[in-house]
């Protein structure tokens, strides 16, 4: 069985840019997963810092309603490592998940960490590059021309440990 993991698609993230391609592709992935009888897991990063763009004490910390309503499970977390969650590990075990598909925010944190750790735990991992995004840019890391999404996708792809696909490539295979 496969699990679609939608990382931290919270209101505060969406308020920081235009993420319509991410939204469209995650919605299309959800339809594929539902029709195949696979599970959908959304994560919600809990942040108690009032200055955070996903502060848990207001609407910014809430999951995007459109992207979370099809989820079978919602997992709260406070780390880029989703596998620290006993609840997540129990779900993956109970449903005999052997493949995890990674989408959501932020590509260079939760998406990257989740992909690497899932691979290390023996899951087949697929990272959907055009269903991930970041609220950061090259200036954040003092590398003006850095395309973060492409950079993370290349690292994961070149590792040989994670399959990196665009949505259309994934759709053709499934």
Q: Domain extents for the chain?
A: 2-173
| pTM of the predicted structure, to 2 decimals | 0.96
State which fold the 2-173 domain adopts: Rossmann fold (3.40.50)
In tens digits, the chain (174 residues) has pLDDT values of: 999 999 999 999 999 999 999 999 999 999 999 999 999 999 999 999 999 999 999 999 999 999 999 999 999 999 999 999 999 999 999 999 999 999 999 999 999 999 999 999 999 999 999 999 999 887 776 778 899 999 999 999 999 999 999 999 999 998
DSSP secondary structure of 113-161: HHHHHHHHTT-EEEEEEEEE--S--GGGGT-TT--HHHHHHHHHHHHTS
């Amino acid at each position: 069985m496969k699990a679609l993991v939608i990382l931290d698609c919270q209101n505060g993230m969406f308020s920081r840019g235009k993420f319509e391609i991410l939204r469209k592709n995650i919605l299309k992935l959800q339809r594929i997963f539902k029709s195949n009888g696979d599970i959908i897991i959304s994560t919600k990063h809990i942040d108690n810092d009032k200055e955070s763009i996903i502060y848990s004490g207001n609407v910014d910390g809430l999951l995007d309603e459109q992207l979370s309503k099809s989820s079978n499970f919602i997992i709260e977390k406070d780390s880029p490592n989703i596998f620290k969650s006993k609840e997540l590990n129990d779900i993956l075990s109970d449903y005999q998940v052997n493949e995890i598909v990674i989408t959501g925010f932020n590509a260079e944190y939760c998406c990257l960490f989740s992909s690497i750790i899932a691979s290390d735990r023996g899951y087949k991992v697929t990272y959907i590059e055009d269903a991930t995004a970041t609220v950061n840019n090259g200036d954040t890391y003092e590398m003006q021309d850095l395309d973060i999404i492409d950079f993370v996708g290349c690292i994961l792809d070149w590792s040989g440990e994670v399959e990196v696909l665009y949505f259309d490539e994934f759709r053709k295979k499934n």
